A and B are shown apart, each in its own frame.
Chain A
Amino acid sequence: MLTVDGLCTEYTTPGGDTVKAAQDVSFTVDQGHLFTLLGPSGCGKTTTLRSIAGLERPRRGSITVNDRVVYSSSAGVFVSPNQRGFGMVFQSYAIWPHMNVFQNAAFPLEVGSRRYSRQQVRENVMRVLTAVQLDHLADRNATALSGGQQQRLALARALVMEPALLLLDEPLSNLDAKLREKMRFELKRLQRELKITTVYVTHDQGEALALSHEIAVMHEGRIQQIGSPRDIYERPATQFVADFVGSSNFIDGTVTGPASTPDGSVIVRTEIGDVTVRALQTLAADQRVAVSVRPEDVELTEDRPAGGNVWEGRVDQKVFLGEAVDFQVKVGTRTLLSRRHPTLRTKIGDAIFVQLDPEKCVVLKVA
């Protein structure tokens, strides 16, 4: 559906320096999918989105939507944003203060190349306003809306012309936490119902995991990994991804031979001792690696458990979070973070056993 290939975007700062905002960005989004560009600020995700929108002109690469080339540096094609027919929700919502709710939502139907009758405009606008539950506020002045309502109006405006592609630039970042959570479900329901192909930009990993069919994690202008939310979370490809999406314990070490066994298990010599892990990729002996383990995968028991990958440690710090308790456990000189159910009530300073499931240990190569 959407294909972005080898996209490079640069811009010049007022000081005259050239900043490479997106470098060699390539991905495809299937029809009806929600694709998320995830990364910290300055990683190039917004630039990539704006390049797809046509608000920014890339240096190289191509962008194709439904076999229609909207940008190609080799063919010299650049379709201006108003000819692309994509809907977009801006971070500031960009609700026009001089129009009321209805007028804001009707604008795309009035200015586009397709002509609509007054009746059609009314029907289409009321349909999207109903979909975002703003139909009862149609005559209200746009400046008199709350933040959540403005966000929904921006969404209605982007949807009203039934765009080929919906672009969302951190649409939830200006909302309070409760509302953000509510809108997250709302957005997901709407996207799944309308089956509209969507590119979503966010720095919030929770949003990305909750909403997406696929996620691309970006760092310093490059895509680090593309995969399903589960892939990204459970099988991060790089240390950056493992660290940015959720939190991780990283244990540095080297692979001790044999590098590969029939069941894929590999022994990594680390500062806490030998860790058995299940490697998906082939590893050479003496390869320097980091073992990444999610806090919820660090098992804690007060009695020594059966099986391997067990170390004895000491509870160093506890944080009560309501639905969970974070334990910081010292194994030798190394501190491991573990998230456990609150029923585990081991006191600070007490001994505790740490067990790591080889299946949950991800081996990341270190350069």
Chain B
Amino acid sequence: MSEAIPNDVSQPAAEARGFDWKWIVIGACVAFTVYIAVIPLGFLLWQSFRTPQTAAVDSVFTIANYATAYGTSDTVRLFWTSIQFASGTALLAFLLGTTLAWMNERTNTPFKSVFFALSVIPLIIPGILFTVAWILLASPQIGIINLVLQGWFGLAEPPFDIYSLRGMIWVDGLHYSPMAFLLMSASFRAMDPSLEESATMSGANIFQVARRVTLRLTWPAIVATILILFVRAIESFEVPALLGLPAGIEVFTSAIYQAVHRYPSQVGLASAYAVALLLITTGGVFWVSKLSGRGSQYATMTGKGFRPRQIDLGRWRWATAAIFIVYFLLIVVLPFAVLLWSSFQRFYAVPSMEALGNLTLDSYRFILHYPNLTRTIWNSVALAVSTATIVMLVTSVICWVVVKTSIRGRWLLDGVASLPIVFPGLVLGLAIMVFYLNVDVGVYGTIWIMLIAYVTRFMPYGLRYTTTSMVQIHKELEESAAMSGASWSTTFRRIILPLLKPGLLAGWIYVMIVSIRELSTSILLYSPDTQVISIVIWELWENGQYVELSALGVLFIIALFVLVLVAQWLGRKYGVKE
């Protein structure tokens, strides 16, 4: 049937009616989104046509950046490496995340409730800490895994080299797999199990059901998830910088980073590289927008209640439990253990009986007396909570317009709101910095410019969370509220938001955590007053203070863990009854 929202209010109503905030709320959200998403893009494009500005020479128009960026055969190699790295990472993360989500939501694997509670832990380990930990685990020289395996099997060569494309994909894929897990879990949970049951009744075994029904029905979520993972991988910075550059493996982000850090800074060249990223990701966003536009074809959450059903794996459930445990070892226990070990050393040493004698708390003392620690923590927390709240509320309105109305050009709105996804954090920070230096509205150097940057950067991810849930809300659930006499804003507040709650909550937790560990945008926008925790970690890395870094990392991870536990507890308390 047609999409039935009477979207034209230009004609006067027959009688006086209560004031409805509908168009004010939608208008404000759209204006905010367009402003926040388009400004950095404009500056990025503008800068890509400018020569570098120095004290002596003014910036002028040029196309030389594009000639340099795309005029050599190196670019083909750069492009190919980036695609390999991003696809490999996205596929590894997706396969891991989906398998785990399916096992967790749809099977009777033992201890899975424990696993779900633990599943957010890997998400809270910042990329830089995770990368450093894997360097300590699998570098050819000091990697503990390499040393242990060489000792056991008498190998001459270290079996793993983390400084390689495969190493990069391994670390980044592992790092992003919890994200795939969360996205796919939400989608599995929203699906009506009778659809799977009817396949079982048709004679399909559990693998056929998973492959031919479950996966097909979650197709929009799958495409959206892979897209997000791909983009996250292609713009990820820490892994290519720490693992790729020492081995001479260059991708777009590290090329941009190097262009910016050259003297004089090649902002134009960096922007020219970023334009290529923009083209790749715009295609992906357009595709997802078309998919979710099909609307009720994929509506799987109806007004009829259902009780989730689980597949009995029989003896195989011990195998799936083992997968959970191995995964958890790789992604949490080993990285955290190696950081913990390092944090008790005075200088880094490979674990041994001798090193065991040198344990010390010096590095923790150093961290606790770090200047402005309280201020730094407060900045991080305030920024994370405000960013997550603003992002989830604004994107739920945007997503409603995109998914639930038939307004012309709504895919464009989706595109605009998803636009910041194409900005590597570094370039976004730079664009915002230059803009607010030129347009002085008093936010430069304050915490507000960080908030603007964070909201811009994480809006697309909030939007994906809300879209995944929104497409699964049957439109009659809204229509029946309208027939009950509820205005649009009441319907939104009392029906849409509560039904979105699982998605909103998951998105809120996610945005909060990625905000608190955000590094590459902050690094260009912070001032001594607005320093955040991840900046302190970066400074320690730059100074080579690895054991102090480990100590701060351990404290940071524990604090984030407690934060997430509180968030989850709140979620259970105020979340949707299941």
Interface residues of A (CB under 8 A from B): 11-12, 14, 19, 21, 46-47, 50, 53-57, 68-70, 76-88, 90-98, 107-108, 111-113, 141-145, 147, 150, 154, 157-158, 161, 167, 174
Chain A residue numbers with a CB within 8 Å of B302 are 92
Stretch of B149-157, B358-366, B416-424, B478-486 with 4 or more beta carbons under 8 angstroms from chain A? B478-486
Beta-carbon contact of B484 and A161 below 8 Å: yes
**Once the chains bind, are B481 and A76 in contact (CB under 8 Å)?**
no
Q: Which residue of B has the minimal Cβ distance to A146? A: B305
What are 12 sample pairs from A and B whose C-beta atoms fall under 8 A apart?
A55-B4, A78-B11, A81-B479, A86-B483, A88-B480, A94-B303, A96-B495, A96-B498, A98-B499, A108-B485, A108-B486, A157-B480
User: Is B477 a contact partner of A54 (Cβ separation < 8 A)?
Assistant: no
CB distance from A114 to the nearest CB of B (A): 8
Residues of chain B within 8 A of A94, CB atoms compared: 303, 474, 476-477, 479-480
- CB contact between B485 and one of A11, A82, A97, A142 (< 8 Å): that residue: A82
Chain B 131-165 interface 0/1 with A at a Cβ cutoff of 8 Å (1 = within) = 00000000000000000000000000000000000
Residue contact A85 to B13, C-beta cutoff 8 Å? no
Residues of A within 8 A of B8 (CB): 57, 78
Interface string of B273-316 (1 = CB under 8 A from A): 00000000000000000000110000001111111000000000
* Contact call A150/B479, Cβ cutoff below 8 A: no
Contact: B306 with A56, CB < 8 Å? no
In the complex, B18 has a CB within 8 A of chain A: yes
Find out whether the CB atom of B2 lies under 8 angstroms from the CB atom of A92: no
User: Min CB distance, A341 to chain B, in Å?
Assistant: 40
Inter-subunit contact A69/B14 (CB<8 Å): yes
Tell me, rounded to whole Å, the shortest Cβ–Cβ distance linking A155 to chain B: 12
Most A-side CB within 10 Å, residue of B2, B482, B494, B498: B2
Q: Are A111 and B484 within 8 A (Cβ)?
A: yes
What are the 10 A-B residue pairs with the smallest beta carbon separation, nearest first?
A143-B305, A11-B2, A112-B485, A108-B484, A111-B486, A94-B480, A94-B303, A94-B476, A88-B483, A81-B482
- Determine if B542 is an interface residue (Cβ-Cβ < 8 Å): no
Q: Is the CB of B484 within 8 A of A107?
A: yes
Is there an interface contact between A57 and B6, defined as CB atoms closer than 8 Å? Answer: yes
- In the complex, what distance in Å separates the CA atom of A97 from the CA atom of B498? 9
The distance in angstroms between the C-alpha atoms of A80 and B483, with both chains bound, is: 9
Neighbouring A residues of B13 by C-beta, 8 Å: 77-80, 83
A100 (CB) vs chain B CBs: closest residue: B577
Given contacts A82-B483, A157-B480, A158-B483, contact A12 B305 (CB under 8 A): no
B484 touches A95 (CB 8 A): no
A154 to B476, CA, bound (A): 12
B1 proximal to A (CB < 8 A): yes
How far, in whole Å, are A92 and B300 apart by their CA atoms in the complex? 12
Tell yes or no: B369 within 8 A of A by CB: no
Residues of A within 8 A of B301 (CB): 97
Can you name the residue of chain A whose Cβ is closest to the Cβ of B498? A98
Q: Contacts of B498 on A, CB cut-off 8 Å?
A: 96, 98
Bitwise interface map of B from 170 to 206 toward A, beta carbon under 8 Å scored 1, else 0: 0000000000000000000000000000000000000
Given A55-B4, A88-B483, 11 new contacts (CB under 8 A) = A56-B2, A56-B6, A78-B14, A79-B15, A81-B479, A90-B480, A94-B474, A111-B484, A111-B486, A112-B484, A150-B305
Query: Given the interface contacts A47-B1, A93-B304, does A80 sit within 8 Å of B481 by beta carbon?
Result: no
- Give chain A nearest CB distance to B286 CB in angstroms: 16
Residue of B nearest to A51 (CB): B4
Known contacts being A47-B1, A92-B303, A147-B304, is A98 close to B486, with CB within 8 Å?
Answer: no
| Contact partner, B483, options A53, A78, A147, Cβ 8 Å | A53
User: For the complex, what is the distance from the CA of A141 to the CA of B483, rounded to whole Å?
Assistant: 22
Q: Is B485's CB under 8 angstroms from A85's CB?
A: yes
Q: Is B501 an interface residue (CB 8 A)?
A: yes
Question: How many Å lie between the Cα of A144 and that of B474 in the bound state?
Answer: 18
A111 / chain B contacts, CB cutoff of 8 Å: 481, 484-487, 490, 494
Please name all residues of chain A whose beta carbon is closer than 8 Å to the beta carbon of B293 when the two chains form the complex.
Answer: 14
| A112: B residues at CB distance < 8 A | 484-486
Query: How many Å from the CB of A166 to the closest CB on chain B?
Result: 10
Is the beta-carbon distance between B501 and A98 smaller than 8 angstroms?
yes
- A90:B303 contact, CB within 8 angstroms: yes
Q: In the docked arrangement, what's the CA distance between A54 and B14, Å?
A: 13
The smallest C-beta distance from A9 to any residue of chain B, in angstroms, reads 9
Most buried by A among B6, B484, B490: B484
The answer for the CA separation of A144 and B577 in the assembled complex, in Å, is 11
Residue contact A107 to B1, C-beta cutoff 8 Å: no
A50-B487 Cα distance, complex, nearest whole Å: 17
Residue B17 lies at the interface, judged by CB distance under 8 Å to chain A:
yes
Contacts of A14 in B (CB 8 A): 293-294
**Bound CA span A112–B479, Å:** 14
Say whether, besides A87-B483, A157-B484, A96 and B499 are in contact (CB < 8 Å). Answer: yes
Q: Smallest distance from the beta carbon of B485 to chain A beta carbons, Å?
A: 4
- Specify the chain B residue showing the minimal Cβ separation from A80: B6
Smallest Cβ distance from B161 to chain A, in angstroms?
51
B576 interface contact, C-beta 8 A: yes
Residues of B within 8 A of A144 (CB): 305
Interface string of B446-485 (1 = CB under 8 A from A): 0000000000000000000000000000101101111111
Q: Does B12 contact A (CB under 8 A)?
A: yes
CB pair B1–A95 under 8 Å, yes or no, is no
> Which residues of chain A are near B482, meaning CB under 8 Å?
54-55, 80-82
For the complex, what is the distance from the CA of A150 to the CA of B302, rounded to whole Å?
Answer: 12
Task: Pick from A97, A108, A113, A150: contact of B18, CB below 8 A.
Answer: A113
Q: Which residue, A50, A91, A107, A167, has most C-beta atoms of chain B within 10 A?
A: A107
Contacts of A70 in B (CB 8 A): 14
In the complex, the answer to whether B14 meets A77 with C-beta atoms within 8 Å is yes
Interchain CA distance A76-B11 in the complex, whole Å: 6
Q: How far is the CB of B463 from chain A (nearest CB, A)?
A: 22
> Distance (Å) between the CB of A73 and the closest chain B CB?
10
Instruction: State in angstroms the CA–CA spacing of A161 and B576 once bound together.
Output: 27
Q: Which residues of chain B from 485 to 507 have a CB within 8 Å of any chain A CB?
A: 485-488, 490-491, 494-495, 498-499, 501
Chain B residues near A142 (CB-CB < 8 A): 305
- Contact check, B17 vs A92: say whether CB atoms are below 8 A apart: no
Q: Which residue on B lies nearest to A113, using beta carbons?
A: B18
